[in-house]
Amino acid sequence: MEEAIRLSLENVESGKGGPFGCVVVKGGVIIAHGANEVTTSNDPTAHAEVVAIRKACAELGSFQLDGCEIYCSCEPCPMCLGAIYWARPKAIYYANTKADAAAIDFDDAFIYAEMERPIGDRKLFTQQLMRDEAQVAFEKWKASTKKIEY
């Protein structure tokens, strides 16, 4: 956790991004670091956790973080929490809370609220198109003998 916090401080002091750091640990050894890179990479998904997960998966040569632990300087946002669940580590630890983040204008409450609303009531216009055509890929996936399930 100390390293995740150090990364968050370093990121603020360098002006490279938001005050967020993350490390992925396996067997007591840090295998990947991540700091918020949203503004430096012009990538809204480049949160510390996503950066660290990408690096850890590359290091392990796997799309899962089996047996790993993730240490975050702050409670993950909805996007990062989803990424963490998909990565399947054995544990996650965090320091600051989402309320702490909201107090410095990193408030994810609107995303949590939007996720609970029916699609038609969300602020971002959303409409389903071409479901029948898209179902073909799902049907092929279901029947495939080449798939790697995850």
Catalytic residue among 49, 59, 114, 116: 49
116 assigned to active site: no
* Token pair listed for 37: 């890179």
In terms of Cα–Cα distance, which of 34, 28, 140 is closest to 87?
34
Q: What is the 3-state secondary structure (H, E, C) of the chain?
A: CHHHHHHHHHHHHHCCCCCCEEEEEECCEEEEEEECCHHHHCCCCCCHHHHHHHHHHHHHCCCCCCCEEEEEEECCCHHHHHHHHHHCCCEEEEEECHHHHHCCCCCCHHHHHHHHCCHHHCCCCCCCCCHHHHHHHHHHHHHCCCCCCC
Which are the catalytic amino acids?
Answer: 49
